[in-house]
């Protein structure tokens, strides 16, 4: 079995919790710009790479928004997403995955129908980061890029409710993927379903996107030794 480097997992999670706490308690109110990456790294006692991953996670949670050339801003202090994530973390992984089965199919179909060129570019960039992390056997970057890929697909479906729910599901499942920390299946796969899904979204082919999503999730539940509902 080929394992991968776990790296900064606990530090990233700690930094994420600290930054989220500053937002929720009002230290950084909605509309304010959070401190720069270097300052946060010094304050939190973690690396800039850990801060970067923490901020990325909070962007996809809907609390932060990066603005080119102007920094990262607080756009929401609603902690309901955090509460939902905690509920999901207490749930049986099988139950969470069953919900994801339905969401993945809907997200794939909708993304193929509604994605913009900018959204497609984001999906392609996340896929490239995922592939690079896989080649480097870096589980921290791999799981972050994998989660980002799926969230971006959900966001491309032009359904904000679906995207919000998927962000929370993604966060819950990402912890399980980190604990597994084994990429044998992904490395050995002759055709990456993520690439197939991206191709289908690029081609605006909803049925091909659904087929790729089903294949992708079948591999995921197999890796985690979960029952798969056809």
pLDDT at 86: 62
Q: Is residue 157's pLDDT more than 90?
A: yes
C-alpha distance from residue 30 to each of 19, 25, 53, 67, 77 (Å): 13, 11, 21, 14, 7
Residues 88, 26 share a domain: no
Residues 86, 56 share a domain: no
Q: Is residue 2 part of a domain?
A: no
Residues 135, 88 share a domain: yes
Q: Is residue 230 part of a domain?
A: no
Residues 113, 59 share a domain: no
Q: Is residue 73's pLDDT more than 70?
A: yes
- Mean pLDDT throughout 100-115? 94
N-to-C CA span, the chain: 28
Residues 152, 38 share a domain: no
**CATH number of the domain that 18 lies in?**
1.10.10.10
- Mean pLDDT throughout 9-14? 81
Q: Which helix or strand (DSSP H or E) is residue 72 part of?
A: strand 71-74
Residues 85, 107 share a domain: yes
pLDDT bin (cut points 50, 70, 90) of residue 6 is: very low
Q: Is residue 180's pLDDT more than 90?
A: no
**CATH number of the domain that 93 lies in?**
1.20.120.530
Residues 85, 18 share a domain: no
Q: Is residue 187 part of a domain?
A: yes
Among 51-55, 57-61, 64-68, 134-138, which range has the highest average pLDDT? Answer: 51-55
Q: Which of 59, 77, 95 is the last residue of a domain?
A: 77
Which token pair is 58? 């909070």
pLDDT at 10: 79
Higher pLDDT, 4 or 182: 182
Which token pair is 164? 């919000």
Residues 89, 194 share a domain: yes
Chain-centroid distance of CA 20 in Å reads 17
Beta bridge partners of 182: 3
Is the pTM value of this prediction over 0.75? no
pLDDT bin (cut points 50, 70, 90) of residue 200 is: very high
The C-alpha angle with vertex 179 and arms to 173 and 196, in degrees rounded to 5, equals 55
pLDDT bin (cut points 50, 70, 90) of residue 182 is: very low
Residues 102, 34 share a domain: no
Find where tokens 């909708």 sit.
Answer: 110
Beta bridge partners of 66: 72
pLDDT bin (cut points 50, 70, 90) of residue 139 is: confident
Residues 94, 70 share a domain: no
Q: Is residue 97's pLDDT more than 90?
A: no
Q: Is residue 227 part of a domain?
A: no
Q: Which of 23, 45, 77 is the last residue of a domain?
A: 77
The answer to whether the beta carbons of residues 153 and 221 sit under 8 Å apart is no
The mean predicted confidence, pLDDT, of the chain is 81
The answer to whether the beta carbons of residues 201 and 112 sit under 8 Å apart is yes
Residues 37, 150 share a domain: no
pLDDT at 88: 65
Query: Structural domain of residue 31, as residue ranges?
Result: 11-77
Residues 200, 87 share a domain: yes
Number of domains in the chain: 2
Residue 37 phi/psi, 5-degree rounding, is -55, -45
């Amino acid at each position: 079995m080929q394992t991968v480097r776990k790296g900064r997992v606990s530090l990233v999670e700690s930094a994420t919790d600290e930054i989220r706490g500053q937002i929720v308690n009002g230290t950084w109110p909605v509309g304010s710009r959070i401190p720069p990456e270097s300052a946060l790294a010094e304050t939190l006692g973690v690396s800039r790479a850990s801060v970067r991953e923490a901020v990325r996670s909070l962007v996809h949670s809907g609390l932060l928004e990066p603005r080119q050339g102007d920094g990262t801003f607080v756009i929401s202090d609603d902690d309901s997403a955090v509460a939902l994530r905690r509920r999901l973390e207490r749930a049986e992984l099988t139950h969470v995955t069953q919900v994801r089965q339905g969401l993945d199919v809907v997200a794939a179909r909708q993304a193929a129908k509604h994605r913009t060129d900018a959204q497609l570019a984001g999906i392609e960039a996340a896929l490239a980061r995922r592939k690079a992390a896989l080649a480097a056997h870096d589980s921290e970057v791999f799981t972050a890029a994998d989660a980002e890929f799926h969230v971006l697909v959900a966001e491309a479906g032009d359904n904000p409710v679906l995207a919000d729910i998927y962000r929370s599901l993604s966060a819950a499942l990402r912890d399980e993927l980190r604990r597994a920390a084994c990429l044998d299946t992904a490395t050995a796969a002759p055709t990456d379903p993520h690439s197939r899904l991206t191709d289908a979204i690029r081609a605006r082919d909803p049925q091909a996107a659904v087929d790729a999503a089903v294949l992708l999730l079948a591999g995921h539940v197999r890796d985690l030794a979960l029952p798969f509902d056809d």
